[in-house]
Chains A and B, each alone.
Chain A
Amino acid sequence: MDPETVNKIAAGEVVERPSSVVKELVENSIDAGARRIVIDIEDGGKKMIKVADDGCGMSPEDAQLALKPHATSKISSVEDLWNVQTMGFRGEALPSIAAISKFRLLTSDGTQGTEIRLSAGKDLIVQPSGAPRGTTVWVQDMFYNVPARYKFLKSSSRETQAISDVVARLAAAHPHIYFHLRSGGRTILEAGGTGDLRHVMAQVFGNEFAADAIDLYFSLETVTVSGLLAAPPHGRPSRSGQFFSVNRRPVRSLLLTWVTDDATRGRYMPGKHPVLIVNVSCSEGIDVNVHPTKAEVRFAREDIVRRALFHAYEAAFLPRADYPVPAQAKETDLDEWPQADDTIAQLVMEHPATGQRAFPELRFLAQTHGSYLLAEACDGIYIIDQHAAHERVFYEEVESTTYPSQLLAVPVTVSLDANSAAAFDEHRHTLEELGFDAEPFGPRSVIVRAVPGELAVSFTERVFTDLLEHLVHADSGSGLSALNEARKALAACHASVRASRGLSDMECVALIERLRGCREPFFCPHGRPTFLKISLHRLRKDFLRT
């Protein structure tokens, strides 16, 4: 293969969309010891991305070397791989980016300035240039030479959203660095620089989350967990507000998510996930080289990480407990955790959908944990997920009826963060179809003059921001119309409003009856089961009666 093809293939792994370019460039800036990083984008980064930092810069020789594949000054041997302290090390990023854009780099190590220009990885121009210490990179017309990939880029507002998410996660991992993200000259996010994590949380999520956030800290062997957790009831309908980093590198980790869900279960309203910024620092035993974008991470000692994070949450929720808790103190609890493999086998007893399709005759027995309904039928016990049931019932309602829209005597003003503002722009028409009448009201806020009739009484600012939040994360690739996604989202919001209010017995009976009337009563619109069944047969067997 010729070098051009090799570079394009490599680019495919590292550079998927503008946000990955921003991630690579900003990580370089962080590795260069920058204190201020200013990111400018245009048209969701598709037209232009500029990242300027005040880091150590490069000498003319290093600058040229940086554009050669697998040239990195960050590691030199395989042993270093398990001990990587810098953000990047693969030496792939710059050449990959340069291969698919019009690329310009201006850098100075304080003594000598260098400017490098490349188009699609070719036509290299290197010239001395006057510049302050630091590095500035321009990436223009991304994928202009790879039309096939250009086609897969999403709308500008979506790409902006993705970039804003990337920068927010990096800012949360590096509170001592000042980040400034602008789109078309308009500030999208400004965060950090003070080293105060609470400050960053306020800038990223809003003051209400940061005001009474709880400090997280726990140290166990080589692992230290630290961060900030927004106290209940402040949560989000998705896990989008959970920023994890490992050794200050933003990551997504099933392990960390799982421990978080487990440790915070029952502390937040049903349908709400905690908002948090957590850094796990681990002096050894981490493999970040799982994926070229390094978004996933593997721990050599998962149990220690799990335990440290769990104790950090526990200490946070019990501020008076003497912590750090000795590592041994809770050992038994942890051993009793269901292992991931057997949970599904044990808890999902017998799915109704796999047996007969007719909705059973149910007699309501009780509500438990404010979120499940217990009912009996002639063939066993049924456990209904109240939230999922509500979602299904309400979803079929909004789907089948055109909702009249209730006009408000006192309009509600809703302030939005960057992501929801983008989602509002994108889905405004859909929201109207659902029965909302909302229009922009100053920068980053909208005024709601009418709401779907069903929400007349329960509508709050929160319902609207939650709805937009759902839309931001709606799976646009599923082929469903935006309207359908919005209906699902609305149903979810409605259900969580209901859940937070609690149900009387009569309402529980009514809910079961309404679920019976549904076209597809067995699943919520997002595909989760609405109920589980423990058959009489199974009960007899487990009580050793057969």
Chain B
Amino acid sequence: MNIQVAQSSLLWGLNIVSRVVPSSSPMPILTGVLIETWKGAARLTATDLESAVQCTIPARIMQEGAAVLPLKLFAELVRRLPPQDITLSLRENEMVAITWEKAQYNLNGFKPDEFPKMMMVERERGVEVPADTLIEMIKSTVYAAASSEDRNISLTGVLVQVKQGKLTMATCDGIRIACISRDTDYGGQSYEFIVPAKVMQEVARLSSGVDDTPVKIFFTENQVLFDINSVLLASRLIDAKFPDYQQIIPNRYYTSMALDSNEFFSACERAALVPREGANYIRLQFSASGVVITSAASSVGTVYEEVPGVLTGEPLDISFNPRFLLDGLKVVLGKPLVFDGTGPSSIACISSPEFRDFFYLVLPLRR
């Protein structure tokens, strides 16, 4: 392999693929980036075996071929190079010579044929979503996925449901459920699959700044491929059964209050400062005039704050772990907020009439 690439495009490409690369691995080749010539360009691939990212950058090909370089070191070097064309050429023993002007760095690489193959995901079943919609959907749900696999591995992912004309994402960590749906022009059969939350975060990162190019999502039985303006992100799906969250959605609410989300969020955020230690909860008392927020910690102090709101239905006295409450409120920040409750020890719901097809269900604390 012998190619010439611009420093800027090489750096862009290395940044794109760097996120999936582990800094150390029992399989050292996984810390590397595969550079190969492909249809008159250079293609970069990195993988941690669970997921893989691939992108293509313009290059002048002097000799076809492939090389694998340790990504962290290579990226650090490229970041510090002058903005001009640089040459990468493969020497014996997997060594790659990086040359520009009067400098030459020789880096030891890995054998390209030992690099794990990028997952081959068939582009048969797929759906297209505008990038900004996809980002909105991911940001509205991904925070409510479980961070540890201990309880149920399916909860560490984002459930994606593809139906005629509709795309739904849902997350649940056992205590709360976040769910959002958006319209699509998908016309095929219904499918659902679970994408690791980590991968979804990466999809959101890669999708920002691609303007209005739609993101193509292809899926098979066990893999998913996101085509984001020609950057490819492939991942294994989580092979587990997601809890039937539809069954948890209440049929009716007994308490409903319309609130200003900014005012309510700030008040809850302030109130949450106090009970940091010990029994960590804030108490919400909904009545005709609005909601009273209280919390207390014997060693710290007490909190009392009123936020006006319009009550429909019965008054409600309910307590939450502030973290779980705030996570849901953040999504509808800046929009009119509706808080729905079913009782002091049962599920509550946060939604907004101006942020349609989103709901956040959360279980309270029982005192």
Contacts and interface: CB of A to CB of B under 8 A. Distances in A.
Contacts of A458: 148, 150
B147 A400 contact: no
Contact of A457 (B147, B177, B319): B147
Interface residues of B, number: 33
Contacts of B278: 397, 400-401
Given A401-B279, A453-B281, A459-B151, A407 B364 contact: yes
Contact of B346 (A400, A407, A459, A514): A407
A455 to B, nearest CB: 11
A437 B147 CA distance: 23
A423 B147 CA distance: 31
A295 interface: no
B176 interface: yes
A404 B365 contact: yes
Nearest to A393: B277
B347 A410 contact: no
A397 B248 CA distance: 32
Interface in A413-470: 437, 450, 453-454, 456-462
Contacts, number: 76
A222 interface: no
A412 B151 contact: yes
A406 interface: yes
Given A401-B279, A407-B346, A456 B319 contact: no
A456 B280 CA distance: 11
B366 A456 contact: no
B173 interface: yes
Given A402-B367, A404-B365, A409-B361, A457 B173 contact: yes
A404 B173 contact: no
Contacts of B281: 404, 453
B152 interface: yes
B346 to A, nearest CB: 7
A437 B364 CA distance: 14
A461 B346 CA distance: 22
A407 B366 contact: yes
Contacts of B319: 404
Interface string B323-339: 01000000000000000
Contacts of B174: 408-410, 412, 459
Interface residues of A, number: 25
Interface string B303-344: 000000000000000010100100000000000000000000
B145 to A, nearest CB: 12
A453 to B, nearest CB: 5
A409 B177 contact: yes
Most buried by A among B174, B280, B346, B364: B174
A317 interface: no
B53 to A, nearest CB: 28
Contacts of A401: 278-279
A409 B174 CA distance: 5
A403 interface: yes
B279 A407 contact: no
A409 B175 contact: yes
B279 A408 contact: no
A467 B224 CA distance: 40
Most buried by B among A404, A412, A450, A514: A404
Contact of B175 (A400, A402, A408): A408
Contact of B363 (A400, A406, A461): A406
12 contacts: A405-B366, A406-B366, A407-B175, A407-B345, A407-B346, A408-B175, A409-B172, A409-B362, A410-B152, A410-B172, A453-B279, A514-B277
Given A410-B248, A514-B277, 7 more contacts: A404-B279, A405-B367, A408-B174, A408-B175, A409-B361, A409-B362, A453-B280
